[in-house]
Structure 1
Amino acid sequence: MIARLKSWARSLKRDVIALWLAARDPRVPWVAKLLAGAVAAYALSPIDLIPDFIPVLGLLDDVLIVPAGIWLALRLIPPPVMADLRERAADTTRPRSRAGLIAVVAIWVLAALGCAAAFGMNFGL
């Protein structure tokens, strides 16, 4: 069972890189590019939307949200194109996503400002 989990994790990592490549590939439909880019940016971001130290919820994005996004994006990309992208992904080093980092930080800042506004705090904005 542990071997199956390790194999599944390796395939997820490969597919994330393949989605990163798909977001830049002209053979991929624009809707699939958009979703592939968003999933790859989030998965490759150095920080999570929900930090891992938060019990249960912290791991929820890694276990459910990212695989679900990958699954959906894979359904939108033509199979021959995805097979080619997976081959290319196997030879590509893991990129980092600045866009994912910026998006996650922006969400946290907006959430903090929303909470502050809800509690009547005024920061002079």
Structure 2
Amino acid sequence: MNTTEHYSDTNFWDKVKNFGQSAGKEVIEKALWLYYTAQDAKTPTWAKTTIYGALAYFILPIDAIPDVLPVAGFTDDLGALAAALATVSAHVTEEIKEETAQKMRQWFN
């Protein structure tokens, strides 16, 4: 399955809104780093494709470990996000990390 075709901004924000607390700060932080990196015009197309694949996996309702399972439910999502971050980390700027930190303070403080 090509997960990039299942990505949309609306589905991403719905997932963050509906599962943010249960997913936890680490998952949401990594998802936001990727999201904001994909929005950056300087991010190359190959990196955006990697990012959108990981974000699509994050928002898909059916994945390797169902998100409704306590604790373990987002383990596979975290793995997909972390793998994408390892691939595109050179494009995650300090500005993106600060934007994410501001959003995280809004949601989790």
Q: What band does the TM-score fall into relative to the shorter chain?
A: 0.5 to 0.7
> More helix by proportion, 1 or 2?
2
- Deviations 1:14-46 (Å, cap 9, x if unpaired)? 110121111221222322211212322442x3x
Aligned counterpart, 1:4: none
Question: CA deviation digits over 1:79-116, x for unaligned, max 9?
Answer: 4634331211222379xxxxxxxxxxxxxxxxxxxxxx
Per-residue deviation, 1:75? 1.6
Aligned to 1:48: 61
Q: Is the 8 A contact 2:43 2:91 kept in 1?
A: no
Task: Quote the residue 1:112 is aligned against.
Answer: none
- Matched to 1:23, the amino acid is A
Runs of 4+ in 1 over 4 A off after TM superposition: none
Tell me if the contact between 1:27 and 1:81 (Cα under 8 Å) persists in the aligned partners.
no
TM-score (norm: length of structure 2): 0.53
Once the two structures are superposed, the pairs formed by residues 30-69 of structure 1 within 5 Å of their partners are: 30-43=45-58, 45=59, 48-50=61-63, 57-58=65-66, 59=69, 62-64=74-76, 66-69=77-80
Q: 1:86 aligns with which of 97, 100, 103?
A: 97
- Matches of 2:46 and 2:82, distance apart in 1: 14
State the secondary structure of the residue aligned to 2:92.
helix
Kept in 1, the 8 Å contact 2:36–2:96? The answer is yes
Match of 2:13 in 1: none
Q: Are positions 1:26 and 2:41 aligned together?
A: yes
What is the Cα-based RMSD across aligned positions, in Å? 3.4
1:61 and 1:27 map into 2 onto residues whose CA distance is 33
- Aligned with 2:29 (options 7, 14, 37): 14
Letter in 2 for 1:75: A
The answer to whether the 8 Å contact 1:15/1:86 transfers is no
Q: Distance in 2 between matches of 1:17 and 1:57?
A: 21
Unaligned runs of 5+ in 1: 1-8, 51-55, 95-125
